[in-house]
Amino acid sequence: MQEERINMEARATLKYARISPRKVKIVLNLIRGKDAGAAMAILKNTNKSASEYLVKLLGSAVANAENNFDMDGSKLYVSECFVCEGPTLKRIMPRAKGSADRILKRTSHITVVVKERN
């Protein structure tokens, strides 16, 4: 029983978030490896648009750990967090002389994994 709990992890995934992966990666680098409480405090005090998404996602990962796997919330830390590029929405903006520019509205798939410290 004890050996099973060593490798336990809880994850939360947000798919198709309407934010560029490049912007999310900056904020993810701030919380990687931190305790869950410290990571939440960092996210709430970071003035980036990705912070809103990540506060909810980290809260969801912690809730998954506590409710589904009976982990102790005070021992949790962010073991893994990454962002993958989702599908890009392609839009057109009219320009001079009847031409057009393409606007790329990027999306992200964000994953946060929490584990329990020994």
Q: For residue 81, what is the domain's CATH number?
A: 3.90.470.10
Give me the chain's average pLDDT, please: 94
Assigned token pair, 10: 């809880």
| Distance in angstroms (rounded) separating the CA atoms of residues 48 and 84 | 18
pLDDT at 92 over 70: yes
pTM, 2 dp: 0.89
Residue 42 exposed, middle or buried by CB count within 10 Å (0-12, 13-18, 19+): middle
Mean per-residue pLDDT, 9-20:
96
Range of 11's domain? 2-116
pLDDT of residue 11: 94
Count of domains forming the chain: 1
Of the pLDDT bands very low, low, confident and very high (cuts 50, 70, 90), residue 89 is very high
pLDDT band at residue 118 using 50, 70 and 90 as cut-offs: confident
